């Protein structure tokens, strides 16, 4: 151990891998660095062995690769490890960058490691492209032809530079030789930049999930974090082993097993999956030169993040708007990845252009704007000192990482909250400024508009509906997260607030009662006096109603049983039996899922559709609306169950669970009326 610290070389290794101080709260999200280092070492080792048998010639390159696969001992394994680790390399580096963006690792004083990391990404893309061409299959040849032709878009020197890269007037023997040389050299340059990245990171150390200084609470790298790294390293080896053993070509293109033929163009020329987002941006711009600039800018714009992010808080823990738009960036990146693999035709071209514009607008407009909004909300929150309550004068604030006993005692603290203890002259909660009401209104308007456009068959309306629905789910999740924090962590929900929330839920259920009242009114109006067009009969001529004694009866039993289960769960919670309450809630969820499945099966096997007269219209409207309410109620109970697991709810304070239970009993009653009128009497 003494030698490890005093030796000039081993001492350097010791300072980075053994004694390096790291924040004590680092999560598994910080394991990307060790995995990327493992990927780099794996690529260097396997690449050296492959280079021993590879022939850099347009005539023999493909044959030499096949010879490695068939004639060299374990050559197939080395080649598959090299190819699949390249894909995993990109998957991990994308997640590594996403983690850096989520936790603000690009900000001062870690701007230099971030900048070097972006350079590593660009260098990795170049290295991977060069290596992909070396296989010299059909996709390799035509991919090289398309990408290298982009250089010709540069004014004045473009054509000459392209011919210099080719070594002639087309991709051929000199091209393969040069690509092999550059690929082999670039791998070691990449390793040098990785070392520079570690040196720059070592200067100020790693960030942490809280985004605050961790100088007062650090642990040595070994054994605390090296053992954590070993967990993901073992997982990495398992994934590689599965890929090379069972799905070695899962991440590749089948056309690359066809020898390169310059006289035959593939139906669709696409790069490897990890380059598809940038390829989609390239294809989205009609002008060749501007397309190349856009593709390069999509990578280089990452260097500007430390400048474009105007936020005063590190990470996204206290930046809800930035948290939301980061999710939208991830969604747009995945959409670009999908579009890059599709043919250049409508509507994919339009979708690619829209998503590409959004990608750049995210960095140039949304990121600075979101930072300013978050800064404003932060200043408002800090300025409202009368409503900013500390743990000394707010008994409702508790640490949920403490023991179970402390969490069970939460009810005592919450029930002790009174207006005087809140430091204000009333028992109500004055909500802080929040972006969620406005953003929810805008997104709901978009969902409604896209739904109407979908009914009218507008182009891309269904895609807009999908995106807006996803955005709505994310937005509502973040909003509910804030509400949970206010009620369970901050203690803002006094008894008066709880009473008002319960009354609000009752009023909401009353509005739902009115909706189903008019559904039943429409059904009874049509069935009691059937129109002549229906044959003056009910059910109308040609309609074969469902057997009320089959699935509907079973569903009635299931739903009534779920109502009993949720009631049992509630009484268990009131009596302090937390485990019994959780079991009852889980049983309710299971019964609800079975009910939903059977309802869907009933729809599939029904002999009539929604367009079959007024019977089918009202039947599917009523039962479908009820099914939607079952799904909503299941989600509410599932969320309440999770909160039970994490001690958010106690015997004295569980307004969220009570609201879910009220809603579920309403769903039960509606189903009984549906069963009697729609299935039994109406058939």
Answer yes or no: 202 catalytic. yes
The first and second tokens of residue 101, run together, are 């963006």
DSSP notation for 85-139: HHHHHHHHHHHHHHHHHHTTTTSTT-HHHHHHHHHHHHHHHHHHHHHHHHT-BHH
Q: Using CA atoms, how far apart are residues 447 and 467, in angstroms rounded to an integer?
A: 9
Contact of 284 with 348, CB cutoff 8 Å? no
Contact of 548 with 683, CB cutoff 8 Å? yes
The first and second tokens of residue 539, run together, are 């059910």
Choosing from 20, 218, 229, 298, the catalytic residue is 229
Task: Pick the closest to residue 626 from 571, 661, 669, 680 (CA basis).
Answer: 669
Choosing from 53, 228, 318, 665, the catalytic residue is 228
DSSP notation for 485-527: IIIIIS----HHHHHHHHHHHHHHHHHHHHHHHHHHHHHHHHH
> Prior bond to 223 cis, omega within 30?
yes
Contact of 394 with 491, CB cutoff 8 Å? yes
Cα atoms in the Cβ-side hemisphere of radius 13 Å centred on 115: 11
Residue 626: DSSP 8-state: H
Answer yes or no: 421 catalytic. no
The first and second tokens of residue 213, run together, are 């200084």
β-strand partners of 219: 22
Choosing from 202, 499, 525, 571, the catalytic residue is 202
Residue 244: DSSP 8-state: H
Choosing from 206, 214, 439, 562, the catalytic residue is 206
Choosing from 272, 309, 374, 492, the catalytic residue is 272
Q: Using CA atoms, how far apart are residues 634 and 595, in angstroms rounded to an integer?
A: 11
Answer yes or no: 228 catalytic. yes
Contact of 562 with 592, CB cutoff 8 Å? yes
Answer yes or no: 482 catalytic. no
Q: Using CA atoms, how far apart are residues 437 and 280, in angstroms rounded to an integer?
A: 34
Residue 270: DSSP 8-state: -
Q: Using CA atoms, how far apart are residues 21 and 284, in angstroms rounded to an integer?
A: 46
| Catalytic residue numbers, as ranges | 202, 206, 228-229, 272
């Amino acid at each position: 151990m003494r030698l490890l610290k005093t030796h000039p070389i081993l001492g350097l290794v010791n300072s980075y891998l053994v004694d390096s101080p790291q924040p004590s709260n680092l999560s598994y999200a910080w394991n990307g660095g060790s995995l990327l280092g493992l990927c780099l070492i794996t690529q260097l080792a396997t690449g050296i062995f492959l280079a021993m048998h590879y022939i850099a010639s347009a005539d023999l390159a493909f044959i030499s690769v096949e010879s490695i696969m068939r004639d060299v001992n374990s050559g197939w394994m080395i080649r598959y490890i090299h190819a699949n680790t390249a894909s995993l390399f990109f998957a991990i580096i994308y997640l590594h960058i996403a983690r850096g963006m989520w936790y603000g690792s690009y900000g001062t004083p870690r701007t230099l490691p971030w900048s070097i990391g972006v350079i590593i990404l660009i260098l990795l893309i170049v290295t991977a492209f060069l290596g992909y061409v070396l296989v010299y299959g059909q996709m390799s040849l035509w991919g090289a032809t398309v990408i290298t032709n982009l250089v010709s878009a540069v004014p004045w020197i473009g054509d000459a530079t392209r011919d210099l890269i080719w070594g002639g007037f087309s991709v051929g023997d000199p091209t393969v030789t040069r690509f092999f040389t550059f690929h082999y050299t670039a791998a070691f340059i990449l390793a040098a930049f990785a070392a520079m990245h570690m040196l720059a990171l070592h200067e100020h150390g790693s960030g942490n999930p809280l985004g605050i200084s961790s100088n007062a609470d650090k642990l040595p790298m070994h054994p605390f974090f090296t053992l954590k790294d070993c967990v993901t390293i073992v997982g990495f080896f398992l994934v590689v082993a599965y890929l090379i053993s069972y799905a070695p070509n899962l991440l590749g293109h089948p056309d690359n097993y066809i020898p390169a033929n310059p006289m035959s163009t593939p139906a669709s020329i696409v790069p490897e999956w990890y380059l598809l987002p940038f390829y989609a941006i390239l294809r989205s711009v009609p002008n060749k030169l501007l397309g190349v600039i856009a593709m390069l800018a999509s990578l280089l714009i990452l260097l500007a993040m430390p400048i474009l992010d105007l936020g005063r808080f590190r990470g996204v823990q206290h930046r809800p708007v930035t948290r939301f738009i980061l999710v939208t960036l991830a969604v747009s990146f995945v959409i670009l990845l999908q579009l890059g693999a599709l043919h250049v035709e409508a509507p994919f071209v339009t979708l690619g252009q829209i998503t590409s514009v959004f990608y750049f607008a995210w960095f140039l407009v949304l990121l600075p704007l979101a930072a300013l909004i978050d800064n404003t909300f932060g200043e408002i929150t800090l300025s409202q000192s009368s409503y900013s309550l500390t743990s000394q004068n707010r008994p409702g604030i508790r640490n949920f990482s403490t023991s179970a006993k402390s969490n069970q005692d939460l009810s005592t603290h919450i029930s002790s909250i009174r207006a005087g203890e809140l430091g204000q002259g009333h028992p109500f909660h004055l909500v802080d400024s929040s972006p969620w009401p406005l953003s929810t209104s805008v997104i709901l308007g978009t969902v409604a508009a896209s739904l109407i456009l979908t009914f009218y068959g507008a182009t891309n309306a269904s895609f807009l509906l999908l995106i807006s629905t996803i955005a709505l789910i994310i937005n509502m999740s973040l909003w509910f997260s804030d509400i949970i924090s206010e009620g369970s962590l901050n203690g803002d929900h006094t008894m008066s607030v709880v009473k008002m929330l319960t009354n609000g839920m009752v009023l909401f259920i009353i509005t739902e009662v009115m909706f189903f009242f008019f559904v039943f009114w429409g059904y009874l109006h049509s069935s009691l006096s059937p129109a002549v067009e229906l044959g003056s009969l009910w059910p109308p001529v040609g309609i074969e109603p469902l057997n009320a004694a089959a699935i509907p009866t079973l569903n009635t039993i299931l739903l009534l049983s779920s109502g009993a289960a949720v009631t049992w769960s509630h009484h268990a919670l009131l009596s302090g039996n937390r485990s019994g309450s959780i079991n009852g809630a889980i049983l309710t969820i299971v019964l609800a899922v079975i009910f939903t499945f059977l309802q869907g099966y009933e729809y599939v096997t029904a002999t009539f559709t929604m367009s079959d007269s007024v019977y089918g219209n009202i039947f599917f409207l009523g039962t479908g609306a009820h099914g939607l309410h079952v799904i909503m109620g299941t989600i509410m109970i599932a969320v309440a169950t999770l909160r039970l697991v994490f001690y958010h709810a106690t015997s004295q304070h569980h307004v969220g669970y009570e609201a879910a239970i009220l809603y579920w009993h309403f769903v039960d009653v509606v189903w009984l009326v549906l069963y009697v009128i729609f299935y039994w009497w109406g058939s």
